[in-house]
């Protein structure tokens, strides 16, 4: 009897960051430690993916050590991440030492929808991008 091959979710699943690529060709190599993000936006997207997959070791490794909270355990129940939209970026390219990425991440907790609108600050530390902190721009309400 022939065995059925089950597709590897890493190669067939869309990356949670919304890039349109598969997890294997987008954020997966960063989370697996096989590659490092070259830009602040790539780090932002990979950190969003890490939040969706609860990859706490990756989050801690990419957080500036002076700003990383001691406990990364999510709320109970944990959020169900729904999508990421990049609104703006400033600097943060392959030749930069700092950059910002403004984004909106949508999620649900206990059936209630929420939005996280943040302007994240990134720097290069020892040659690698790390998340430093973020500010929360005033949110406009549209009817």
Sequence spans of domains, the chain? 12-135
CA–CA distance, 105 with 11 (Å, rounded to integer):
24
> Does domain 12-135 match CATH 3.10.450.50?
yes
Taking the C-alpha atoms of residue 99 and residue 114, their distance in angstroms, rounded to an integer, is 26
According to the model, what pLDDT value does residue 34 have? 97
% of the chain with per-residue pLDDT over 90: 81
96 by DSSP, 3-state: which? Answer: coil
Residue 74 or 93, more confident = 93
Give residue for tokens 């030749």.
Answer: 95
Is pLDDT of 2 > 50? no
Nearest CA to 23 out of 40, 8, 38, 10 is that of: 10
């Amino acid at each position: 009897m022939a065995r059925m091959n089950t597709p590897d979710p890493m190669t067939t699943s869309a990356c949670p960051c919304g890039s349109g690529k598969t997890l294997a060709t987008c954020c997966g190599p960063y989370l697996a430690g096989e590659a490092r993000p070259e830009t602040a936006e790539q780090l932002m997207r990979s950190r969003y993916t890490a939040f969706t997959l609860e990859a706490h070791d990756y989050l801690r490794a990419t957080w500036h050590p002076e700003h990383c909270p001691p406990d990364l355990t999510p709320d109970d129940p944990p959020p169900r991440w729904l999508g990421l939209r990049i609104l703006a970026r400033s600097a943060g390219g392959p030749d930069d030492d700092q950059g910002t990425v403004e984004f909106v991440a949508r999620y649900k907790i206990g059936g209630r929808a929420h939005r996280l609108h943040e302007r994240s600050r990134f720097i290069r530390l020892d040659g690698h991008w790390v998340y430093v902190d973020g500010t929360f721009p005033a949110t406009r309400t549209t009817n």
